[in-house]
Amino acid sequence: MDEIRKNQIIILKMPDGTSIDGTILDYEKDRVSILVDESSYSSATNIAELDYLDVVVHTHCGIKKMKSHVISALDGRNCILIENNPSEMYPQKREYARVVDDFNFKLIYNNSEYYAKCINISAGGIAFSAKDCVFNTGEKILLIFSKEIFLKEIKIMAEIIKVHDDFFVAKYENLNMYDENKIVQRVFKLLVQK
């Protein structure tokens, strides 16, 4: 699973329906080390090598799932080692975790500058309000996020995908990896604070 990171919450689901909660202690391309929560310790003692698991991980990109097998059962450190396999591909309405936010930003449309307020944000797009703007679905705008919020000024082309009075939703276009990481860091920080 490419989205896997240290300290993410992980749930291991056994074929009998038992769930084991844990935290990702470490990971490599082919394996994941999981620190089992104390509340799941007794269930985790029943896991054996080669057991089949359904795995759910709360990643910075939303909830991801994979199928896995146990490499090594519960050890003296309360850890389980499982295979790191690709994420399951399944259709979902939202690709990225979205979080409520309220920073102000600028946008440029038809060579005019406007001010807007974020309502919620994700690594894929933004919902915002702008009282002095009139957009139609499909129109392109340039979003400018300030250095004070994201530690560097971010300029992103976006397409308006939803319009309702002074409420708009825009989907980013061609967002580079560095700027996406800055947005994901803010989203994750806000999610952790909840």
In whole angstroms, what is the distance from residue 145 CA to residue 126 CA? 11
> Per-residue confidence at 193, pLDDT binned at 50, 70, 90?
low
Residue 25 has a pLDDT of 95
pLDDT tens sequence across 15-62: 888 899 999 999 999 999 999 999 899 999 999 999 999 999 988 777
Residue 92 has a pLDDT of 46
Residue 192 has a pLDDT of 64
Q: Which long-range contacts (CB under 8 A, 24 or more apart) does 6-11 make?
A: 8/57, 8/58, 8/59, 9/57, 9/58, 10/34, 10/55, 10/56, 10/57, 10/58, 11/55, 11/56, 11/57
The structure tokens listed for 161 are 């995908």
With a cut of 60, say whether residue 11 has pLDDT above it. yes
In whole angstroms, what is the distance from residue 166 CA to residue 193 CA? 28
- Measured at the CA of 178, the angle between CA 180 and CA 156, to 5 degrees, comes to 55
Higher-confidence residue of 193 and 14: namely: 14
Q: Note the Cα 161 to chain centre separation in Å.
A: 21
pLDDT tens sequence across 77-131: 999 999 999 988 654 455 677 888 999 999 999 999 999 999 999 989 999 999 8
Phi then psi for residue 90, to 5 deg, are: -145, 145
Residue 90 has a pLDDT of 53
pLDDT tens sequence across 166-185: 899 999 998 898 898 889 88
With a cut of 50, say whether residue 145 has pLDDT above it. yes
